[in-house]
Amino acid sequence: MNKRAMDERWKDVLADSEATVEGYRERGWDAIGVHPGDVNPIEGAARLDVLLPGSEFDEVHERMADVEIEDFRVYAAYQGGVAFRLVAAEDATGGFALCVPTFLFDQDREPLRRAAAQAGALVIRLRPLDDRDVVELTLSDPDVFFEAEPPTEE
């Protein structure tokens, strides 16, 4: 996938994330959607590092201190060698959702899947550019993330 097509598809994923956040809010939930600057797979740690703007990270960090994530919903798209994922972390008891758009290139997907299977979890680490702190979301069933794969390219 060329850079222009990737940028256009990423804009669509971000718009889907905003629509998902709005859907939660319409149901009476508190919801936050983030806008990653970059997403990096860290195979050895079975982790995706998601870089957030400082103000977004601060909001997420503050809000996540008061919630208990109970479930994850993962929405998938695939185009031109890139797997896009919208991860919605839910605290149904507290009525809170955090929506995190991510992406993985084909060459990174299978190695990360194997590492997550071996570790028994996939961690999505949210962090600001200055690395002052992190927020981690742990998918104890990594297949929820990887098997959300659509069977064919859109």
Strands laid side by side in the 71-79 sheet: 30-33, 96-105, 82-91, 71-79
CA angle 147, 102, 62 (to 5 degrees): 115
Phi and psi angles of residue 40, each rounded to the nearest 5 degrees, phi first: -125, 125
Distance CA 34, CA 17 (A): 8
Q: Where in the chain are the domains?
A: 3-146
Question: What is the rounded average pLDDT for all residues in the chain?
Answer: 93
111-146 pLDDT tens trace: 999 999 999 999 999 999 998 999 999 999 999 999
- Averaged over 34-53, what is the pLDDT? 96
Q: Does the pLDDT value for residue 51 go beyond 50? A: yes
Distances in Å between the Cα of 43 and the Cα atoms of 62, 86, 104, 119 are 28, 20, 12, 10
Q: Does the pLDDT value for residue 150 go beyond 60? A: no
Q: Write down the pTM of the prediction.
A: 0.92
Distance CA 120, CA 131 (A): 25
Phi and psi angles of residue 93, each rounded to the nearest 5 degrees, phi first: -60, -45
pLDDT band at 149 (very low <50, low <70, confident <90, very high): low
Residue 90, token pair as written in the block? 């839910």
